[in-house]
Homo-oligomer: A and B are copies of this chain.
């Protein structure tokens, strides 16, 4: 690893889950910003090809990236990486993230998302590495009572996935309050969509997608027959649900802004920021924008509302704007353009052929390989 002469010489950031959707885009952004980046990822819901492409896209800065295949549930492996690097901060993306699956199989969610995080925090604490950006989610607001959602809106969660996010937030508030050396920023993402403008990085969900955009994409590339729209009788402009979609590239710059804030604000404590555009977009508007970007028609099927879904969710953007100096730059047209470029260039995601879905039992049992690349074995 060479020392770069960019904006952040010598600063080395650990990115857990850096091979995943938001993690890969953020890792690329950090490299371009001049950071050194070390990725830890267990690759159970991501793949090393994403990391290779991050290196490519970073050009000369790609030399500043290292990747370790490590499961955070294996504390000895985490410690081994900390033995090799002095991290200035950690951005913690790693975790399982499918709401429906978390209801069916909560234990692996608690083990991966909570136990894994506690191993990481324990090692960080021991090594005196106490700057932390945590990937949370708008899901911690449950069904918001009013919009826009602000960072002070009521927190309550409706499923085990959301609970893992809220529980880590609670832990971080306590840990940061007790020890002023800790600096924590919690980022609550609204609905991440889109892909890197090159079309080389994007979301590659295994199994059935959980969110609207990957569904639209799979219909567009012919992997699914039609898009099911759940409810067209909401009290919204066109009757379909309204959400706050945010381009993954804007999330990447949001993480970079959060990192800057951490380094420059000793009294940040544990502070949460919503990351969204502040604009609500309906399902039918997304479909129309995607059809325009792709130049094709998305067949729709209208179904009943899903229990638990609410009609309109979007965020206030004031706090992130004022305190992080960050604002989303991309609108729905850019999101769909880049989503389609990724989709059409990579109809099977990062994999040349379709692989098996993840074996959650194996996840629950923690019996993943702990062997890391770069000649490190624990």
A365 touches B174 (CB 8 A): no
B115 touches A118 (CB 8 A): yes
Q: Which residues of B contact A364 (CB under 8 A)?
A: 122, 125-126
Q: How large, as a class, is the contact surface on chain A? A: 20 to 34
**Which stretch, A34-42, A103-111, A188-196, A288-296, touches the partner chain B?**
A103-111
Q: Which residues of B contact A106 (CB under 8 A)?
A: 171, 174-175, 177-178
Asked if A370 CB lies within 8 Å of chain B CBs, one says no
Q: A118-B111, A119-B115 are in contact. Are A178 and B103 (CB under 8 A)?
A: yes
Which of A104, A106, A111, A119: most chain B Cβ within 10 A? A106
Q: Which residues of B contact A125 (CB under 8 A)?
A: 107, 364
Which residue from chain B places its CB closest to the CB of A161 in the assembled complex?
B174
Q: Which residues of B contact A211 (CB under 8 A)?
A: none
Q: Which residues of B contact A110 (CB under 8 A)?
A: 118, 121, 171, 174-175
Q: CB-defined interface of A210-222 with B at 8 Å, one 1/0 digit per residue?
A: 0000000000000
Asked if A142 CB lies within 8 Å of chain B CBs, one says no
Q: Which residues of B contact A115 (CB under 8 A)?
A: 114-115, 118-119, 122
Within 8 A of B (CB), among A125-141: 125-126
Q: Which residues of B contact A365 (CB under 8 A)?
A: 122, 126
Asked if A198 CB lies within 8 Å of chain B CBs, one says no
Q: Which residues of B contact A75 (CB under 8 A)?
A: 366
In the docked arrangement, what's the CA distance between A39 and B310, Å? 48
Asked if A160 CB lies within 8 Å of chain B CBs, one says yes
Least CB distance from A308 to B in Å reads 15
Q: Which residues of B contact A114 (CB under 8 A)?
A: 114-115, 118, 171
In the docked arrangement, what's the CA distance between A121 and B106, Å? 12
Q: A115-B118, A122-B365, A364-B122 are in contact. Are A105 and B167 (CB under 8 A)?
A: no
Asked if A170 CB lies within 8 Å of chain B CBs, one says yes
Asked if A341 CB lies within 8 Å of chain B CBs, one says no
Which residue from chain B places its CB closest to the CB of A119 in the assembled complex?
B115
In the docked arrangement, what's the CA distance between A152 and B164, Å? 23
Q: Which residues of B contact A122 (CB under 8 A)?
A: 107, 111, 115, 364-366
Which residue from chain B places its CB closest to the CB of A106 in the assembled complex?
B174
Beyond A104-B178, A106-B178, A107-B175, list 20 extra A-B contacts (CB 8 Å). Answer: A103-B178, A105-B178, A106-B171, A107-B122, A110-B121, A110-B175, A111-B118, A114-B114, A114-B118, A115-B115, A115-B118, A115-B122, A122-B364, A122-B365, A122-B366, A126-B364, A160-B171, A163-B170, A163-B174, A167-B167
Q: Give A residues with C-beta under 8 Å from B.
A: 75, 103-107, 110-111, 114-115, 118-119, 121-122, 125-126, 160, 163, 167, 170-171, 174-175, 177-178, 364-366
Q: List 9 A-B contacts (CB under 8 A).
A: A103-B178, A106-B177, A107-B178, A114-B171, A115-B115, A115-B119, A115-B122, A122-B365, A160-B171
